[in-house]
Amino acid sequence: MWKHQLLTHFSSMTLFVDEPLSSYTYTKTGGKADILAFPKSKEELSELIIWAKNQSIPITTLGNASNVIVKDTGIKGIVIMLEYINDIRFEDTYVHVSSGMTLIDLSKQVSEQSLSGLEFACGIPGSVGGAIYMNAGAYGGEMKDIVEAVHVIDENGQLKSYTHDEMLFDYRYSIIQNSTDIIIGATLKLEHGNKESILEKMTELNHLRQSKQPLEYPSCGSVFKRPEGYFAGKLIQDANLQGKRIGGVEVSKKHAGFMVNIDNGTATDYKHLIAYVQQEVKRQFNVDLETEVRFIGDENERN
């Protein structure tokens, strides 16, 4: 009933009913969303949030779905993807960017402006919003190094901003993980640089990524956070778990920190393989591996 009302109320928004999210996730797994919505503007997003709140319909925001495992039972309510909200404005070394832009596109655009500071992120397949939420990082850089302010819409549809300090950034953490806010954009602070050197650095890092990571398969990137004093990939490798397979999901033989979907794997396969690896690493080295990837969706999962 509510789905029909939503379609009528937001007739100009791109909306899909009972949409399989496996078409959108980097792992190529996950059940259906009751509604998948692509608002075209911040105003439309705000209106959708208010409507959902009034109807008590839950909202889940996805960025580029490169760090999530959507459960096989899917996601109840409205799933919002922000890829159409992706404008950008330059003001000297400041970049005002909306959260739907991908880091890959953003790094190309800032390099065109000879702005340096985002090279580390040029191969991370997330959106600006998802990367800020996760404080994504690579090759010695993290989003926290360049974020000046973050702009959000709260659950009442109100706009507000966080300063860099208010974001409480930490390793793969930001305060947004403990709120219901939706990141709609950010102000980044970069530096003037040399365009050739910036492009050279990006090419070098992308080659490194291609040589080390199993990018030919669907995956969610690093499954586990770096435990203090260790590297998750090295522990998994030393535990002889590379090639370990459950269902269609395998611990990558190329990079032990990745789990690749090699044969129609499911979110449940991911869940079981993750638990197996955690158990083995604990047994062999007494180290707890905490997931970096985020499980999203209904609790009533089949086993």
Which residues are known catalytic residues? 172, 222, 292
What is the rounded CA–CA span in Å between residue 296 and residue 69? Answer: 6
Q: Considering beta carbons, is residue 116 or 120 the nearer one to ligand FAD?
A: 120
Amino acid at 60: T
Q: Considering beta carbons, is residue 31 or 63 the nearer one to ligand FAD?
A: 63
End-to-end CA distance of the chain: 30
List, in order, residues 6 or more apart from 251 with CB less than 8 Å away: 236, 241, 242, 243, 244, 245, 258, 259, 273, 277
What is the rounded CA–CA span in Å between residue 28 and residue 150? Answer: 30
What is the rounded CA–CA span in Å between residue 278 and residue 281? Answer: 5
What is the rounded CA–CA span in Å between residue 103 and residue 124? Answer: 6
Q: Considering beta carbons, is residue 131 or 256 the nearer one to ligand FAD?
A: 131
The minimum distance between CB 62 and ligand FAD, in angstroms, equals: 4
Q: Considering beta carbons, is residue 15 or 220 the nearer one to ligand FAD?
A: 220
Residues written for the chain = 303
The minimum distance between CB 82 and ligand FAD, in angstroms, equals: 5
The minimum distance between CB 67 and ligand FAD, in angstroms, equals: 3
Range list of β-strands (E), 10-158: 14-20, 32-38, 59-62, 68-70, 75-81, 88-91, 94-98, 115-116, 137-138, 141-142, 147-153
Q: Considering beta carbons, is residue 179 or 194 the nearer one to ligand FAD?
A: 179
Structure tokens at 97: 């960017």
The minimum distance between CB 273 and ligand FAD, in angstroms, equals: 16
The minimum distance between CB 283 and ligand FAD, in angstroms, equals: 27
- Contact positions toward ligand FAD, by CB under 6 A? 26, 61-68, 82, 99, 124-127, 129-131, 133-134, 136-138, 176, 182-183, 213, 215, 219-221, 294
Q: List residues bridging with 79 in a β-sheet.
A: 36, 60
